[in-house]
Amino acid sequence: MAKEKKESKLTDLPGIGPAIAIKLEEAGCTDLMGIAILTPKELMNTAGLTEATARKAIQAARKMMDLGFKDAEEYMKERDEMLTITTGSKNIDKLLGRGFETGAVTEAYGAYGSGKSQLAHSLAINVQLPKEQGGLDGMAVFIDSEGTFRPERVRQIAIARGLDPQKILKGILAARAFNSDHQMLLVEKIPELINEKKLPIKLIIIDSLTSHFRAEFAGRGQLADRQQKLNKHIHALLKLSEQFNIAVYITNQVMANPAVMFGDPTTAIGGHIVGHASTYRIYLRRGKKGSRVAKMIDAPNLPESETVFWITPSGFADSEKEAMVDGEEEE
């Protein structure tokens, strides 16, 4: 990941004076990387600049950040700086390589009851753990679009694992998104939490990404508008993940594809827009004897594979025996 020079400030860019710099900082663009990843149109709308000035500022920021070509060895070093958050399941962690990766968007889709929201609650707790325990000593932002966030479940997991439930609950910032515009606005406010309030946000959860978009843009006539808006939303998440080295976990709804005559007809909502934008894509479904199955559908560096897990009072178990013991202890 390209690193900003310490002496470089927003006001070092052509056309960016103190007043415009303040305006940019209020919009969440507090460093050169924040400018370098913008389009001229986005910078024009944010700072009130002309197109020519916006282009010059972006080009200067990219030059200062050295965002040109680099060899694969340098990329390998940057990959080594990526961190991971444990899911609490060794099976799922192995499926994902090591766990949920920072600087990436991981999508889980599946029918209701498949474990998507349970995974979200576990991650919101695990990100707060020390690094040696699979966490990042950070906080989680939980954007709830379906009314699925349950502090009671967070408390249950924390107590079952011997953690301080009050401390864990304070480490999760939750917000209910009431429509797609509100959901997008909440994402735009996250840089403010990091830059101004100096909160150690290391995980963003949206459960679910597509619920409001699916409800508000009904029918084929509105499909193009929905996809365009959804594309903007998910790319804002990608920018956040890369700019602040944050892990992003999004859940997705499904539908039954009538074109599939044999096999599983379950298809994720959002089409190619969500599919291509997600770095890692896993499919969750119910298995036998109360188990759940996680299948890796797409990843840039991992094979397609699947694993089994169980939902327990303390989060997850990797075998039926572990799940039974966990359940007995809870009783």
HEC readout, 233-302: HHHHHHHHHHHHCCEEEEEECEEECCCCCCCCCEEECCHHHHHHHCCEEEEEEECHHHCEEEEEEECCCC
The ranges of the chain annotated as CATH 1.10.150.20 are 10-65
User: Mean pLDDT over residues 40-61, rounded?
Assistant: 90
To the nearest 10 degrees (0 to 180), the angle between helices 151-160 and 320-330 is: 100
User: Mean pLDDT over residues 92-104, rounded?
Assistant: 95
| pLDDT, position 292 | 96
Q: Is the pLDDT of residue 331 over 50?
A: no
| pLDDT, position 330 | 44
More confident residue, 331 or 289: 289
**Whole-number average pLDDT of the chain:** 88
| pLDDT, position 4 | 43
More confident residue, 162 or 322: 162
The ranges of the chain annotated as CATH 3.40.50.300 are 82-330
User: Mean pLDDT over residues 159-178, rounded?
Assistant: 97
Structural domain 82-330, CATH architecture: 3-Layer(aba) Sandwich (3.40)
| pLDDT, position 189 | 93
Q: Is the pLDDT of residue 260 over 80?
A: no
Lowest mean pLDDT among 154-168, 243-257, 277-291: 243-257
| pLDDT, position 196 | 84
Q: Is the pLDDT of residue 53 over 60?
A: yes
Which pLDDT band holds residue 259 (cuts at 50, 70, 90)?
low
Q: Is the pLDDT of residue 199 over 60?
A: yes
The alpha carbon dihedral of 118, 124, 129, 133 has a sign of positive
User: Mean pLDDT over residues 187-212, rounded?
Assistant: 93
CB atoms < 10 A from the CB of 93, how many?
20
Q: Is the pLDDT of residue 100 over 60?
A: yes
Residues 6+ apart with CB under 8 A from 181: none
Percent of the chain predicted with pLDDT > 90? 57
Nearest one of 29, 62, 48 to 190, comparing CA atoms: 29
- Rounded-to-integer distance, Cα 58 and Cα 38, Å: 7
| pLDDT, position 329 | 46
Given the structure tokens 């679009």, which residue do they identify?
145
| pLDDT, position 219 | 72
User: Mean pLDDT over residues 123-149, rounded?
Assistant: 97
pTM score over 0.85 = no
| pLDDT, position 30 | 76
β-strands 280-286, 266-268 pairing: unpaired
10-65 CATH: 1.10.150.20
Beta bridge partners of 203: 140, 247
| pLDDT, position 193 | 93
| pLDDT, position 5 | 40
| Amino acid (one-letter) located at 229 | K
| pLDDT, position 261 | 64
**Three-state DSSP class for residue 128:** coil
